[in-house]
Amino acid sequence: MHLPFQIFSPEEEIIDPIFEEKEIRLFIKRDDKIHPFISGNKWRKLKYQLEYAKSKDISHLVTFGGAWSNHLLACAAASATFGFKAIAYVRGEEVRNPVLDMCRIFGLQLIFVDRESYRNKEKIFSENHDSKTSLFIDEGGKSELGLLGCADIIKELNQHYDHIFVASGTGTTVAGLQLGIEQNNFHSQVHSIPVLKGADSLLQDFSQWNIDPQKIYMHLDYHFSGYAKTKPELIEFIKNFVSSTGIMIEPTYTGKLMYGVYDLIQKGYFKSKSKILVIHTGGITGLLGHLDLFSK
Protein backbone atom coordinates (compact mmCIF):
# COMPACT_ATOMS: atom_id res chain seq x y z
CA MET A 1 0.00 0.00 0.00
CA HIS A 2 1.27 3.46 -0.83
CA LEU A 3 0.50 6.63 1.01
CA PRO A 4 -0.90 9.31 -1.28
CA PHE A 5 2.04 11.68 -1.05
CA GLN A 6 4.14 13.01 -3.90
CA ILE A 7 7.56 14.29 -3.14
CA PHE A 8 9.60 17.02 -4.77
CA SER A 9 13.32 17.00 -4.00
CA PRO A 10 15.40 18.47 -6.82
CA GLU A 11 19.19 18.36 -7.09
CA GLU A 12 20.55 21.87 -7.42
CA GLU A 13 24.09 23.01 -8.17
CA ILE A 14 25.71 25.46 -5.78
CA ILE A 15 27.97 28.01 -7.40
CA ASP A 16 30.96 29.47 -5.58
CA PRO A 17 34.31 30.77 -6.92
CA ILE A 18 36.18 28.40 -4.62
CA PHE A 19 34.67 25.39 -6.41
CA GLU A 20 36.04 26.62 -9.74
CA GLU A 21 39.45 27.12 -8.22
CA LYS A 22 39.42 23.59 -6.79
CA GLU A 23 37.83 22.20 -9.98
CA ILE A 24 35.00 20.45 -8.20
CA ARG A 25 31.21 20.73 -8.50
CA LEU A 26 28.86 20.76 -5.55
CA PHE A 27 25.19 19.79 -5.68
CA ILE A 28 22.51 19.68 -3.00
CA LYS A 29 19.49 17.38 -2.95
CA ARG A 30 16.67 19.43 -1.53
CA ASP A 31 14.90 17.00 0.78
CA ASP A 32 14.04 20.12 2.77
CA LYS A 33 11.47 20.84 0.03
CA ILE A 34 9.57 17.61 0.62
CA HIS A 35 7.27 19.22 3.20
CA PRO A 36 7.55 22.18 5.60
CA PHE A 37 6.96 19.99 8.66
CA ILE A 38 7.36 16.34 7.56
CA SER A 39 10.76 17.44 6.63
CA GLY A 40 13.74 15.86 4.94
CA ASN A 41 15.02 12.57 6.19
CA LYS A 42 12.25 12.38 8.75
CA TRP A 43 9.80 11.71 5.93
CA ARG A 44 12.20 9.18 4.42
CA LYS A 45 12.37 7.33 7.72
CA LEU A 46 8.65 7.45 8.43
CA LYS A 47 7.37 6.46 4.99
CA TYR A 48 7.55 2.66 5.20
CA GLN A 49 6.71 2.64 8.91
CA LEU A 50 3.46 4.49 8.18
CA GLU A 51 2.69 2.23 5.23
CA TYR A 52 3.23 -0.76 7.50
CA ALA A 53 0.88 0.74 10.10
CA LYS A 54 -1.83 1.32 7.47
CA SER A 55 -1.47 -2.21 6.13
CA LYS A 56 -1.99 -3.60 9.66
CA ASP A 57 -4.90 -1.27 10.46
CA ILE A 58 -2.89 0.32 13.23
CA SER A 59 -4.55 3.55 14.32
CA HIS A 60 -2.02 5.04 16.76
CA LEU A 61 1.59 6.09 16.44
CA VAL A 62 3.63 6.17 19.62
CA THR A 63 6.97 7.87 19.47
CA PHE A 64 9.75 9.54 21.44
CA GLY A 65 12.01 12.55 21.28
CA GLY A 66 13.62 15.58 22.83
CA ALA A 67 11.84 18.91 23.11
CA TRP A 68 13.25 20.31 19.84
CA SER A 69 12.95 17.08 17.88
CA ASN A 70 12.40 17.39 14.13
CA HIS A 71 11.13 13.83 14.28
CA LEU A 72 8.30 14.72 16.68
CA LEU A 73 7.13 17.52 14.42
CA ALA A 74 7.33 15.24 11.38
CA CYS A 75 5.30 12.57 13.20
CA ALA A 76 2.76 15.16 14.30
CA ALA A 77 2.24 16.49 10.77
CA ALA A 78 2.31 13.03 9.18
CA SER A 79 -0.22 11.61 11.62
CA ALA A 80 -2.59 14.50 10.88
CA THR A 81 -2.04 14.08 7.13
CA PHE A 82 -2.55 10.31 7.00
CA GLY A 83 -5.24 9.92 9.64
CA PHE A 84 -3.38 8.49 12.61
CA LYS A 85 -3.68 9.44 16.26
CA ALA A 86 -0.25 10.14 17.68
CA ILE A 87 1.28 10.23 21.12
CA ALA A 88 4.82 11.36 21.88
CA TYR A 89 6.85 10.85 25.02
CA VAL A 90 9.08 13.87 25.39
CA ARG A 91 12.35 13.59 27.30
CA GLY A 92 12.72 15.79 30.38
CA GLU A 93 10.55 18.14 32.35
CA GLU A 94 7.59 19.89 30.82
CA VAL A 95 8.57 22.84 28.63
CA ARG A 96 7.03 24.95 25.92
CA ASN A 97 8.75 25.93 22.69
CA PRO A 98 7.64 26.68 19.11
CA VAL A 99 8.31 23.13 17.86
CA LEU A 100 6.22 21.52 20.62
CA ASP A 101 3.51 24.14 20.11
CA MET A 102 3.34 23.25 16.41
CA CYS A 103 3.21 19.56 17.34
CA ARG A 104 0.16 20.31 19.49
CA ILE A 105 -1.54 22.20 16.67
CA PHE A 106 -1.19 19.05 14.53
CA GLY A 107 -2.92 17.14 17.33
CA LEU A 108 0.07 15.29 18.75
CA GLN A 109 -0.49 14.36 22.37
CA LEU A 110 2.65 15.15 24.39
CA ILE A 111 3.60 13.31 27.56
CA PHE A 112 6.72 14.49 29.37
CA VAL A 113 8.80 11.81 31.08
CA ASP A 114 11.84 12.11 33.31
CA ARG A 115 15.16 11.17 31.74
CA GLU A 116 15.52 7.99 33.79
CA SER A 117 12.19 6.47 32.66
CA TYR A 118 12.69 7.78 29.14
CA ARG A 119 15.71 5.50 28.74
CA ASN A 120 13.46 2.44 28.64
CA LYS A 121 11.21 3.34 25.72
CA GLU A 122 10.14 -0.25 25.10
CA LYS A 123 8.88 -0.47 28.68
CA ILE A 124 6.91 2.77 28.35
CA PHE A 125 5.36 1.41 25.18
CA SER A 126 4.50 -2.07 26.46
CA GLU A 127 3.01 -0.78 29.72
CA ASN A 128 0.78 1.81 28.08
CA HIS A 129 0.00 0.65 24.57
CA ASP A 130 -1.24 -2.37 22.66
CA SER A 131 0.93 -3.31 19.71
CA LYS A 132 -2.17 -4.43 17.77
CA THR A 133 -3.44 -0.89 17.57
CA SER A 134 -0.29 1.17 18.19
CA LEU A 135 3.00 1.33 16.35
CA PHE A 136 6.22 1.92 18.30
CA ILE A 137 8.33 4.43 16.38
CA ASP A 138 11.76 4.90 17.89
CA GLU A 139 13.43 8.24 18.58
CA GLY A 140 14.45 9.96 15.38
CA GLY A 141 12.50 7.37 13.35
CA LYS A 142 15.41 4.97 13.69
CA SER A 143 14.50 1.53 12.29
CA GLU A 144 15.14 -0.93 9.53
CA LEU A 145 12.14 0.37 7.57
CA GLY A 146 13.57 3.85 8.05
CA LEU A 147 16.78 2.65 6.48
CA LEU A 148 14.89 1.40 3.42
CA GLY A 149 13.16 4.75 3.06
CA CYS A 150 16.52 6.54 3.08
CA ALA A 151 17.93 4.10 0.52
CA ASP A 152 15.24 5.37 -1.88
CA ILE A 153 17.06 8.71 -2.08
CA ILE A 154 19.70 7.06 -4.27
CA LYS A 155 17.13 5.79 -6.81
CA GLU A 156 16.01 9.35 -7.44
CA LEU A 157 19.42 10.76 -8.38
CA ASN A 158 19.72 12.28 -11.86
CA GLN A 159 23.46 11.78 -12.25
CA HIS A 160 26.48 10.04 -10.79
CA TYR A 161 28.29 11.63 -7.83
CA ASP A 162 31.74 10.68 -6.61
CA HIS A 163 30.89 11.65 -3.05
CA ILE A 164 27.62 11.87 -1.11
CA PHE A 165 27.52 13.65 2.26
CA VAL A 166 24.90 13.74 5.00
CA ALA A 167 24.68 14.94 8.62
CA SER A 168 24.24 12.11 11.13
CA GLY A 169 22.47 11.76 14.46
CA THR A 170 21.38 8.13 14.82
CA GLY A 171 23.17 7.24 11.58
CA THR A 172 20.04 5.71 10.01
CA THR A 173 20.09 8.07 7.05
CA VAL A 174 23.74 7.54 6.14
CA ALA A 175 23.39 3.77 6.53
CA GLY A 176 20.34 3.95 4.23
CA LEU A 177 22.31 5.91 1.64
CA GLN A 178 25.04 3.24 1.69
CA LEU A 179 22.36 0.55 1.29
CA GLY A 180 20.94 2.47 -1.68
CA ILE A 181 24.40 2.67 -3.26
CA GLU A 182 24.78 -1.10 -2.93
CA GLN A 183 21.25 -1.87 -4.18
CA ASN A 184 21.81 0.25 -7.29
CA ASN A 185 25.43 -0.82 -7.93
CA PHE A 186 26.65 2.75 -7.71
CA HIS A 187 30.22 3.62 -6.88
CA SER A 188 29.76 6.80 -4.90
CA GLN A 189 31.66 7.18 -1.65
CA VAL A 190 29.23 7.85 1.20
CA HIS A 191 30.32 10.28 3.96
CA SER A 192 28.83 11.06 7.35
CA ILE A 193 29.28 14.24 9.36
CA PRO A 194 28.14 13.29 12.88
CA VAL A 195 26.63 16.23 14.76
CA LEU A 196 27.31 14.76 18.17
CA LYS A 197 30.45 13.80 20.03
CA GLY A 198 31.50 10.16 20.33
CA ALA A 199 29.87 9.02 17.11
CA ASP A 200 31.76 5.72 17.29
CA SER A 201 28.62 4.11 18.70
CA LEU A 202 26.98 4.62 15.31
CA LEU A 203 29.30 2.03 13.83
CA GLN A 204 27.66 -0.73 15.87
CA ASP A 205 24.30 0.17 14.40
CA PHE A 206 25.68 -0.01 10.89
CA SER A 207 26.77 -3.62 11.43
CA GLN A 208 23.42 -4.51 12.98
CA TRP A 209 21.84 -3.45 9.67
CA ASN A 210 24.43 -5.41 7.65
CA ILE A 211 26.12 -2.25 6.48
CA ASP A 212 29.91 -2.56 6.54
CA PRO A 213 31.03 0.42 8.67
CA GLN A 214 34.32 0.51 6.72
CA LYS A 215 32.41 1.67 3.66
CA ILE A 216 31.18 4.92 5.21
CA TYR A 217 33.70 7.72 5.80
CA MET A 218 33.07 9.43 9.12
CA HIS A 219 34.31 12.99 9.56
CA LEU A 220 34.47 13.34 13.31
CA ASP A 221 35.77 16.91 13.58
CA TYR A 222 32.67 18.92 12.77
CA HIS A 223 30.39 18.40 15.79
CA PHE A 224 31.38 21.76 17.40
CA SER A 225 31.59 20.21 20.90
CA GLY A 226 28.37 18.24 20.70
CA TYR A 227 24.72 17.98 19.82
CA ALA A 228 23.06 21.40 19.32
CA LYS A 229 26.28 23.15 20.42
CA THR A 230 27.57 25.95 18.23
CA LYS A 231 30.56 28.27 17.87
CA PRO A 232 30.78 31.77 16.41
CA GLU A 233 32.57 30.50 13.27
CA LEU A 234 29.69 28.10 12.58
CA ILE A 235 27.13 30.88 12.92
CA GLU A 236 29.23 33.15 10.67
CA PHE A 237 29.51 30.38 8.08
CA ILE A 238 25.75 29.76 8.11
CA LYS A 239 25.00 33.46 7.57
CA ASN A 240 27.39 33.60 4.62
CA PHE A 241 26.07 30.40 3.10
CA VAL A 242 22.39 31.32 3.41
CA SER A 243 22.87 34.88 2.18
CA SER A 244 24.91 33.81 -0.84
CA THR A 245 22.84 30.76 -1.93
CA GLY A 246 19.29 31.44 -0.72
CA ILE A 247 19.25 27.94 0.80
CA MET A 248 18.31 27.96 4.48
CA ILE A 249 20.36 25.77 6.81
CA GLU A 250 20.45 25.63 10.62
CA PRO A 251 23.15 25.07 13.26
CA THR A 252 22.20 21.61 14.58
CA TYR A 253 22.49 19.49 11.42
CA THR A 254 22.79 21.02 7.99
CA GLY A 255 24.98 23.94 9.15
CA LYS A 256 27.59 21.53 10.51
CA LEU A 257 27.29 19.43 7.37
CA MET A 258 27.89 22.32 4.99
CA TYR A 259 30.65 23.74 7.18
CA GLY A 260 32.43 20.38 7.03
CA VAL A 261 32.04 19.99 3.27
CA TYR A 262 33.30 23.53 2.57
CA ASP A 263 36.22 22.96 4.94
CA LEU A 264 37.17 19.72 3.15
CA ILE A 265 36.91 21.47 -0.22
CA GLN A 266 39.15 24.29 0.98
CA LYS A 267 41.69 21.80 2.32
CA GLY A 268 41.91 20.14 -1.09
CA TYR A 269 40.34 16.87 0.12
CA PHE A 270 38.68 16.15 -3.24
CA LYS A 271 40.37 15.27 -6.53
CA SER A 272 39.78 17.76 -9.32
CA LYS A 273 36.69 16.99 -11.44
CA SER A 274 34.93 15.46 -8.40
CA LYS A 275 31.18 15.79 -8.23
CA ILE A 276 29.91 16.05 -4.68
CA LEU A 277 26.34 15.78 -3.46
CA VAL A 278 25.11 16.90 -0.06
CA ILE A 279 21.69 15.83 1.17
CA HIS A 280 19.70 18.70 2.69
CA THR A 281 17.89 16.73 5.38
CA GLY A 282 15.51 19.58 6.25
CA GLY A 283 14.88 20.42 9.89
CA ILE A 284 14.76 24.18 9.42
CA THR A 285 12.36 24.60 12.36
CA GLY A 286 15.36 23.79 14.59
CA LEU A 287 16.49 27.31 13.76
CA LEU A 288 13.71 28.62 16.00
CA GLY A 289 15.74 27.53 19.01
CA HIS A 290 18.87 29.33 17.85
CA LEU A 291 17.60 32.61 16.45
CA ASP A 292 19.27 34.70 19.17
CA LEU A 293 22.68 33.56 17.88
CA PHE A 294 21.92 35.32 14.59
CA SER A 295 20.73 38.58 16.07
CA LYS A 296 24.03 40.44 15.55
Ligand X SMILES: *Cc1c(COP(=O)(O)O)cnc(C)c1O
**Count of C-beta atoms within a 10 Å radius of residue 109:** 15
| Interaction of residue 253 with ligand X, rule CB under 6 A | yes
Q: Of 9, 55, 59, 69, which is the active-site residue? A: 69
| 3-class SS letters over 111-175 | EEECHHHHCCHHHHHHHHCCCCCEEEECHHHCCHHHHHHHHHHHHCCCCCCCEEEEEECCCHHHH
Smallest separation (angstroms) from ligand X to the CB of 69: 8
Segment interacting with ligand X, rule: CB under 6 A, options 12-20, 114-122, 166-174, 212-220: 166-174
- Point out the residue whose Cβ comes nearest to ligand X: 283
Question: Binding marks (x or -) toward ligand X, 266..295, rule CB under 6 A?
Answer: ---------------xxx------------
Segment interacting with ligand X, rule: CB under 6 A, options 15-23, 47-55, 99-107, 168-176: 168-176
Smallest separation (angstroms) from ligand X to the CB of 158: 22
CB 253 within 8 A of CB 195: yes
Q: Which value, to the nearest 10 degrees, does the dihedral of the CA atoms of residues 35, 47, 167, 23 take?
A: -70
Report how far residue 34's alpha carbon sits from residue 36's, in angstroms, rounded to the nearest whole number: 7
CB 163 within 8 A of CB 277: yes
Closest residue by Cα to residue 158 from 245, 28, 40, 47: 28
φ, ψ for residue 214, nearest 5 deg: -60, -25
Angle 131-104-287 (CA atoms, 0-180°, nearest 5)?
Answer: 110
Task: Considering the complex, state which of residue 24 and residue 150 has its C-beta at the smaller distance from ligand X.
Answer: 150
Segment interacting with ligand X, rule: CB under 6 A, options 88-96, 119-127, 165-173, 203-211: 165-173
| Interaction of residue 171 with ligand X, rule CB under 6 A | yes
| Interaction of residue 41 with ligand X, rule CB under 6 A | yes
111-150: contacts with ligand X (CB under 6 A): 140
274 tagged catalytic:
no
Report how far residue 174's alpha carbon sits from residue 170's, in angstroms, rounded to the nearest whole number: 9
Smallest separation (angstroms) from ligand X to the CB of 170: 3
| Interaction of residue 167 with ligand X, rule CB under 6 A | yes
The count of residues interacting with ligand X (CB under 6 A) is 17
| Interaction of residue 70 with ligand X, rule CB under 6 A | yes
| Interaction of residue 28 with ligand X, rule CB under 6 A | no
CB 286 within 8 A of CB 35: no
| Interaction of residue 9 with ligand X, rule CB under 6 A | no
Residues identified as active-site: 69
Note the residues at the interface with ligand X (CB under 6 A).
40-42, 70, 140, 167-173, 253-254, 281-283
